[in-house]
Amino acid sequence: MGSITINKDLLRERQSCTFNVLELTHLWDGGPEKTKERKELEKFFLDDPELQEKIPSEYLSHKEKYQEALRRSCLLFKKIKEWSDTTGCGSQMDTFQNILGGMLGSAILPDGVPFALNYVMFLPTVMGQGTMQQQAYWVSRAWNCEIMCTYAQTELGHGTFIRGLETTATYDPSTEEFVFNSPTLTSYKWWPGGLGHTCNYAVVVAQLYTKGQCHGIHPFIVQLRDEETHMPLPGIKIGEIGSKLGMNTINNGYLGFENVRIPRENMLMKNSKVLPDGTYVNSPSDKLTYGTMIFVRVALVRGIAAAYLSKALTIATRYSALRKQGEIKPGAGETQILEYRTQQHKLFPPMAMCFAMRCSADWLWDIYNSVTAELDRGDLERLPELHAMACCLKAVCTKDSAKAIEVCRLATGGHGYMNSSNFPSTYGMVTAAETYEGENTVLLLQTARFLVKAWQQARSGGNLTETVEYLKTMPLQPLSLWVNSLQHLGIAFKRVAAGNIETCATSIERRILVGVAPEDAWNEVSIQLAKAAETHCRAFMMQIFINFATSAQVSPELKKVLIELCELYGTYFLLDNLGDFFMYAGLRSSDVPSIQEWMETLLHKIRPNAVGIVDGFDISDAVLRSALGAYDGNVYERLFAEANKSPLNAEPVDESFHKYLKPFLKSNL
């Protein structure tokens, strides 16, 4: 162990790469300056011995995992402050994003940062929904970690249907306070990250009652624990919800209230208000309360879906280049498993997905920022489109990413099943995002609502926004003969989306015409509706990727690779959904063999650059945390070293032998 020689197969892969890997890294990071900043940041944090893992966390108890995560979180956030003070380079917000959503956080706290919700949800909620005075008070306290806060919305009984939340906040004008209660077991808050034992404040979403009337759900800031002793305040029932599939250091908690009083000023009042006498003042739109969820959905596409997939791909691709198993031609010697076409089919389409996710995430981030500025000016016109796109991109990208990470694990055979491969924790992190911040099916159905309306508008000649403009033009264009080109792929994906949306809209109309209630008609058609939303999202991602690949200002060598990946994205999803393309895009069965061949040729073309592409993601070994994926490819030495960290290997004979096994073996059953 300890060898620094690079595995010779990996070395050969790197030598035969046809493009400049550093150019891809700069493109991926957003420019050479960004790459430099990222590397400095990684060095500053990851070289600190205090932040190094001493015992793999899998060997710690549940309690030890949390305590160790908390120790590191405190150190980490002290260092963030130190970094900003000493370098003056990059705002603290950039650094936080890299720590909480980027790769850096996952290197130091792979199973989740217990402070994450303070930055990812509490602060955005106060900034988006608090008055200027509320922001002035709460933002600095939370930002500087004088207090630690979370976002408590979901309850034991309701996660999706938030209008059904049961926690009550009843205004008492005699004291100018809100009184919080949890009237039922199902009204207990359940899930908020950091709520268990970390946070002392939370944004709590509750049904607001004033003057005897319920005004629906609203956000309030509630103190949960004493700032000195950390003891729960009177009437607060709080704890941790227990061990989970993954994210075991994020400290998800439960919370109940019994006549807990908070001052009136703790209701976040940028949008709706309660005046001292209890008069309720309406918000311009009740959906503004949902703003934080949009923000996190937007952030997840890049920060979780694309980022963790790029990690899994780096591990699986490097491993596949050095792992040898079997022969393609008898007697020709053992083959790198990356030579098997089936292996390429497992790994290269997810590489293409990773690029499509990144371009889409950048688009989504830009429209999020411009729509947020419009909302601040009172203009709500583009909110529905932002909501629809945030929902479907969050759903499709987290689903694709989780599925592809599992494929990467399977592509590494038995060794991928080890925790030391880092696949289990990576998968645990991403599959959680399929559920939190809006369960994926539910989000697709939200997008479908927008699409059906857009379809009706297209039919009645109304104006359509950017992402649904194609619903007007597509049905008018005649179906042409199939051509294997990117342009044709772009059109075919839109035709499939438009066809699926039309099928849904007409199925609903047909049902309503024969007397089915509109809500029942919606439910009956909802399998197709969720699919329509997914095809819309796919068509959007295809087009964004085409625009990116064809217009990127890069060398011809790199551009060629980007175009190949883009074509692979299209051909892969087309072949996976042939029925749709037959039904809606004029594809004939006689066209399929040439598309299959096109896709296989792309796999062949990408093959020499596969290691170069994942090297281009430039994920350091400290961030990868994988015995299978390290840059030098010394897999077998690392697997051995990791095995020897097992506490069971500390003694040649474990004490359980004397306690149980020996008496059992000698008992002559």
Ligand X SMILES: Cc1cc2nc3c(=O)[nH]c(=O)nc-3n(C[C@H](O)[C@H](O)[C@H](O)COP(=O)(O)OP(=O)(O)OC[C@H]3O[C@@H](n4cnc5c(N)ncnc54)[C@H](O)[C@@H]3O)c2cc1C
Q: What positions carry a catalytic annotation? A: 437
426's CB contacts (< 8 A; 6+ apart) are 308, 311, 312, 405
441's CB contacts (< 8 A; 6+ apart) are 395, 530
Question: What is the nearest approach in angstroms of ligand X to the Cβ of residue 326?
Answer: 40
User: Per rule CB under 6 A, is residue 160 in the interface with ligand LUC3G6IP?
Assistant: yes
Q: How far apart, in Å, are the Cα atoms of 169 and each of 162, 172, 219, 267, 290?
A: 15, 10, 10, 10, 18
Residue 67 or 441 having the CB closest to ligand X: 441
Question: What is the nearest approach in angstroms of ligand LUC3G6IP to the Cβ of residue 392?
Answer: 12
Q: What dihedral angle (degrees, nearest 10) is formed by the CA atoms of 86, 89, 93, 94?
A: -130
Residue 396 or 418 having the CB closest to ligand X: 396
- Looking only at the bridges linking them, the beta strands covering 260-263 and 177-181 are antiparallel
Question: What is the nearest approach in angstroms of ligand X to the Cβ of residue 245?
Answer: 9
Per-residue binding letters, 250-289, with ligand LUC3G6IP (x by CB under 6 A): -------------------------------------x--
Q: Which of 154, 181, 198, 343 binds ligand LUC3G6IP (CB under 6 A)?
A: 154
31: Cα within 13 Å, side-chain hemisphere: 3
Residue 419 or 435 having the CB closest to ligand X: 435
Question: What is the nearest approach in angstroms of ligand LUC3G6IP to the Cβ of residue 436?
Answer: 4
Contact 236, 255 (CB under 8 A): yes
CA distance 123 to 149: 9
User: Per rule CB under 6 A, is residue 196 in the interface with ligand LUC3G6IP?
Assistant: no
CB under 5 to 8 A by kind: which of ligand LUC3G6IP, ligand X, none does 287 bind?
Answer: ligand LUC3G6IP
Of how many residues is the chain composed? Answer: 669
User: Per rule CB under 6 A, is residue 304 in the interface with ligand LUC3G6IP?
Assistant: yes
User: Per rule CB under 6 A, is residue 387 in the interface with ligand LUC3G6IP?
Assistant: yes
- Looking only at the bridges linking them, the beta strands covering 280-281 and 177-181 are unpaired
DSSP string, 252-271: -EEEEESSEEEEGGGB--SS
User: Per rule CB under 6 A, is residue 300 in the interface with ligand LUC3G6IP?
Assistant: yes
Per-residue binding letters, 7-36, with ligand LUC3G6IP (x by CB under 6 A): ------------------------------
Q: How far apart, in Å, are the Cα atoms of 603 and each of 175, 339, 574, 596?
A: 70, 10, 15, 11
Q: Which of 44, 137, 143, 290 binds ligand LUC3G6IP (CB under 6 A)?
A: 290
CA distance 548 to 559: 10
Q: Which among 507, 384, 380, 494 is positioned nearest to 447, based on CA atoms?
A: 384
Per-residue binding letters, 367-386, with ligand LUC3G6IP (x by CB under 6 A): ----------------xx--
545: its two tokens: 């990727």
DSSP string, 380-433: -TTHHHHHHHHHHHHHHHHHHHHHHHHHHHHHTGGGGGSGGGTHHHHHHHHHHH
Question: What is the nearest approach in angstroms of ligand X to the Cβ of residue 431?
Answer: 9
Q: For 224, which DSSP code?
A: -
Collapsed DSSP state (helix, strand, coil) of residue 217: strand
Select from 33-41, 160-168, 507-515, 635-643 the region that touches ligand LUC3G6IP (CB under 6 A): 160-168
CB under 5 to 8 A by kind: which of ligand LUC3G6IP, ligand X, none does 152 bind?
Answer: ligand X
User: Per rule CB under 6 A, is residue 75 in the interface with ligand LUC3G6IP?
Assistant: no
Helices (H) and strands (E) in the chain, counts: 27, 11
Collapsed DSSP state (helix, strand, coil) of residue 115: coil
Residue 170: phi and psi, rounded to 5, are: -105, 125
Q: Which of 143, 340, 436, 631 binds ligand LUC3G6IP (CB under 6 A)?
A: 436
Question: What is the nearest approach in angstroms of ligand LUC3G6IP to the Cβ of residue 158?
Answer: 9
Question: What is the nearest approach in angstroms of ligand X to the Cβ of residue 399?
Answer: 12
Sole residue written with tokens 């700069």: 26
CA distance 321 to 148: 45
Q: Which of 142, 195, 238, 294 binds ligand LUC3G6IP (CB under 6 A)?
A: 294
User: Per rule CB under 6 A, is residue 530 in the interface with ligand LUC3G6IP?
Assistant: no
Interface contacts to ligand X, rule CB under 6 A: 117, 151-154, 158-160, 191-193, 247, 252, 432, 435-439, 441-442, 445
Select from 45-53, 313-321, 417-425, 431-439 the region that touches ligand LUC3G6IP (CB under 6 A): 431-439
CB under 5 to 8 A by kind: which of ligand X, ligand LUC3G6IP, none does 666 bind?
Answer: none
CB under 5 to 8 A by kind: which of ligand LUC3G6IP, ligand X, none does 163 bind?
Answer: ligand LUC3G6IP
CB under 5 to 8 A by kind: which of ligand LUC3G6IP, ligand X, none does 441 bind?
Answer: ligand X
Q: Which among 550, 542, 420, 533 is positioned nearest to 56, based on CA atoms?
A: 420
CA distance 447 to 297: 13
Residue 202 or 316 having the CB closest to ligand X: 202
Does 154 carry a binding-site annotation? Answer: yes
Q: For 346, which DSSP code?
A: H
CA distance 179 to 172: 7
Residue 170 or 186 having the CB closest to ligand X: 186
178: its two tokens: 């809100």
Residues that bind ligand LUC3G6IP (CB under 6 A): 100-101, 116, 120, 151, 153-154, 160-163, 193, 287, 290, 293-294, 299-300, 303-304, 383-384, 387, 436-438, 442, 446, 449
State the binding site. 154, 193
* Residue set of the binding site for FAD: 154, 193
